[in-house]
Structure 1
Amino acid sequence: MSLHQREIGGQAKVKPHAEHPAEFVLLSSGTAAWDGILLEHLRFPPLDISDVCAVRHHLTLQLKTPRKVELKANGKFNSQQLLPGNVCITPFHHLHAIRWKDEMEVLSLTLEPEFVAQAVQEPVNADRAELMMYRGQKDPLIREILLALKTELETGCPSGRLYGEAMGTALAVHLLKRYSTAQSAFTAYEDGLPQYKLSQVLEYVQTYLDQDIKLVDLAELTGTSQYYFCRLFKQSMGVPPYQFVLQQRIERAKQLLQQKELAIADVALLCGFKNQSHLTTLFRKYTGVTPRVFRNL
C-alpha cells in the first residue's frame, strides 16, 4: 500500500483533502481553509511501502517513541532509528521507499509546490529550487510549526485561514533556506510597508472582514510575496496579519453587539466568524467576557 499518491499525470490540486488512507488518520486539516498545505496526525501499523513518487513536498515529525525504519538508498535498504522530534523531508518528485515493523505515530505535513513558489516568489524561483531528501533530521523550527498547527486544529482553528497559511509560508521559506539545492538569498527589509500600501491593506480588511480573507490576496495588494508581506506588515502594525484581522473582527463585534435587535449568531457571521461559538471563544479570549455579557454591560 502506498502512502503517497502515485503520479499519473495532470496538475496537483491547490488544496489536498487527503494524503493517507482514512484508517490511519487521527486528525486532519482537510476541512480547514488552508490552501496549499495539509496537516495530518497519523498512526500507522507495520508497513512496507514500495517505490513511490511524491506529488507534493512531504514532511513528517516523529512522535512518542523511537522507531527503527528501513530506508532504500542506491537500491538497498538501510536501517535507521527515528527518535521523537526527528523530521523527515521528502521533496516533490522524489522516488522513495520505506518500511517498518512496529506501530508508528507521526505528524505529516504536505506542501503544494505551487504554494511554495507563491510564498517566496520574489527572492527565488521556487520551481527550480529543489529540496533535498532528509531522514531523521533535528529541526526545532519545523517541529514547532507542525505542533502549533496541530494545536490549532485540535482547538477548531480559531485563528482562521490566515494563521495556517502564514505558518505554511514560514515553513516554505525555512525549507528553501536550509534544505534547498539553490542558493536562496532573502533580502532583509526593516522599514515596514509604504503608507499607501498599508492603507490599501487596512481598507481591504475592513471591506472584506465578514469573508474568509486569504494571505495571498493581501500580499498581492502590496506586490510582495506572502513571506515578505507577513514580515513587513508586522513591522508596520506590530502584530502579524492573522492577529490584526482577529482584533478587527472583535472590534466590529463590539460595535454590532450594541445593536440589540441583532442576534449574536448574526453578529458572528457579519464579523467573519464561523458561528456563534467561534465568536464567543475568541471574544472571551480578547475581552475577558462573553458577547452576551458584553451586550448587557
Structure 2
Amino acid sequence: MERNARQKVSSDRDRSVPAARGEGKIRSNIQFFDRQTRSPRSDIDVGTVTASSQGLGWKGIHIESGQNDGFRTDDVIVPQHYFAMNVGSSFEWEWKDGNCFRKERSQPGTIWVNPAGVPFSHRVYGDNQFALLTLEPQQLLEGLPEEAAIDSEAFSREHHARDPQIQHLMNALLQEASARNPNGKLYVELLSTALSIHYVNHYRLAGPLDRQIDFSRVKAGDRHRIGKAIDYIEAFLSEDISLDDLATVAGRSKFHFCRLFKVAVGLTPHQYLMKRRVERAAQALTRGTPNIANVAIAYGFSDQTHFTRNFKKIKGITPGEFIKKKR
C-alpha cells in the first residue's frame, strides 16, 4: 500500500505543467510530508528553482537546482531517496540529533544523502545554492540486476558526503534537465542506473540484519519488538539514542528490553549501537579522501579519540590504519 501511495504521488507530480525556460517561475517538485501524520507539508518552500527535470517524463528520478536565503524543515520525510548538493559557496546549517541540533558547515560539492522515508529536521542559514535529486525506491530496484534483492535493506544517511561519482552524476543530470533532455530518455536511464548501483554499493548497510540476530532465542511475541528497536537504531544511528527511546519503541520496560536484546543479539544495546556506528563509519572511510574527525562526528562519536578507541576495539586497527589497508 505504501509503495502504491508513493507511485501515486510520483504520477501526480509528473502531470504538472512543464517547466520550460521562459514560462514563469518554476515550482519545486520535491514533496515533504509530516513524519507523524504523513500529510503533505505545503508550507515548506525550498526557494527559487532555476532549473528542473519537471515535465520531461523521466521515470523515477527528478533533479532541480536553485537558491534560497535560508531553509527550515521540522520532522519531515521525503518518500524518495533524497540527495542535496551544495553547488555554491560554503554556508552554515544544522541538523537535529536527538533533542538538539548539531552544527555543520557545508562546503562546495558536499552532498547530504537521506534514505527514503527517514525523518529529518534542518536549519540552513544564509544564501545558498543547491541541486536536489530524488530517486524512487522502486526505480532503484529496477535499475539493478535481478539477483540484487535489496527490498529489505536499509541505507545510511550522510550529512556531508564527499562523493565525486554522485557529484558527477548529479551534474550530468542537471545539465541534461537544463537543456531540456537533448540526449533523450535512454541517456537519463543510463545515468539513473549508474547512480542506483553506486548508491547500493556504497550507502547500503553492511548486510541483512536478521543474519546477525538469532530470533529463535526469544519468544515469537518479542521478535517484532526487537526488530522495531533494531530498525530505530538503523534509522537514527548517528543521533543521541537513549535506552528510554529503544524501550519505548519496543514496548517493554528498560530492564526487560535489555534482557531480551542481549539474548537475541548477543550484545547489549549500547554495544550494538557502537558496532553499527563503527561499521557505517568504516564504509565512509573507504570513499574519497575522508577526514577522520569529520567521520567521527557524523556517525555519533563525541570526538576523534572516542571514535578511534571504539573503532580499534571492534576492528582491531585504528581508522588511519584501516584507510591505508583499503588503498
TM-score by length of 1: 0.56
2 CA distance for matches of 1:130 and 1:22? 26
What corresponds to 2:6 in structure 1?
A: 11
Contact in 1 for aligned 2:6/2:79 (Cα 8 Å): no
Q: Render the CA deviation track for 1:201-255: whole Å, top value 9, x for unaligned.
A: xxxxxxxxxxxxxxxxxxxxxxxxxxxxxxxxxxxxxxxxxxxxxxxxxxxxxxx
Instruction: Determine if the alignment matches structure 1 residue 126 to structure 2 residue 137.
Output: no
Report if the CA contact (8 A) 1:129-1:176 is conserved.
no
Q: How does 1:158-197 map to 2 (within 5 A)?
A: 158-183=182-207
Could you say what secondary structure the match of 2:54 adopts?
Answer: coil
Partner residue of 1:289? Answer: none
The 3 A distance-change label for structure 1 pair 126 and 24 is farther
1:208-219 superposed matches below 5 A: none
What fraction of aligned residue pairs are identical, expressed as a percent?
24
Please report how far the alpha carbon of residue 48 of structure 1 lies from its aligned counterpart in structure 2 after TM superposition. 2.2
Distance 2:206 2:137 in 1: 15
The answer to whether the 8 A contact 1:27-1:42 is kept is yes
- Work out the CA distance in 1 between the residues paired with 2:136 and 2:109: 23
Q: What residue identity is the alignment partner of 2:67? A: R
Question: What is the Cα deviation at residue 12 of structure 1?
Answer: 3.3
Q: Judging changes above 3 Å, is the alpha-carbon distance between structure 1 residues 70 and 23 closer, same or farther for their aligned structure 2 residues?
A: closer
1:74 aligns with 2:114: no
> Cα offset for 1:35?
0.1
Corresponding residue for 1:115?
139
Structure-to-structure mapping, 1:74-153, within 5 angstroms: 74-153=98-177
When structure 1 is superposed on structure 2, of 96-105 and 15-24 the one drifting more is 15-24
Q: Deviations over 1:65-95 (max 9, x none)?
A: 0011001112210100100000110101101
1:12 aligned partner, one-letter code: Q
AA matched with 1:97: S
1:25-53, Cα deviation, whole Å (9 max, x unpaired): 11110111210000010212212211102
Structure 1 residues 86 and 23: alpha-carbon distance in aligned structure 2, compared to 1, 3 A threshold: closer
Structure 2 residue identity aligned to 1:10:
A
Is residue 2:58 matched to residue 1:34? yes
2 CA distance for matches of 1:127 and 1:121?
A: 13
CA contact (8 A) 1:69 1:81 kept: yes
> In the superposition, relative to structure 1, how do residues 182 and 117 fare at CA in structure 2: closer, same or farther (>3 Å)?
farther
**Aligned residue-pair number:** 178
Q: CA shift at 1:117, angstroms?
A: 1.1
Contact 2:54 2:62 in 1 (8 A): yes
Tell me the TM-score normalized by structure 2: 0.51
CA change 1:68–1:79 in 2 (3 A) is same
Question: What is the DSSP-based 3-state SS (H/G/I as helix, E as strand, rest coil) of the residue aligned with 2:196?
Answer: helix
What is residue 203 of structure 1 aligned with on the other side? none
**Which segments of 5 or more consecutive residues in structure 2 lack a partner in the other structure?**
15-28, 32-44, 209-327
Distance 1:44 1:167 in 2: 27
CA distance in 1, matches of 2:202, 2:187: 23
Which amino acid is the alignment partner of residue 157 of structure 2?
M
SS in structure 2 of the partner of residue 107 of structure 1: strand
Q: Which residue of 77, 83, 87 maps to 1:53? A: 77
In the alignment, is the contact (CA less than 8 A) between 2:86 and 2:131 conserved in 1? yes
Alpha-carbon separation, structure 2, partners of 1:172 and 1:67: 28
In the alignment, is the contact (CA less than 8 A) between 1:142 and 1:171 conserved in 2?
A: yes
CA shift for structure 1 position 183: 4.3
SS in 2 for 1:12: helix
- Decide whether the 8 Å contact of 2:46 with 2:68 is kept in 1: no
Aligned AA for 1:67? Answer: F
Q: Is the 8 A contact 1:129 1:182 kept in 2?
A: no
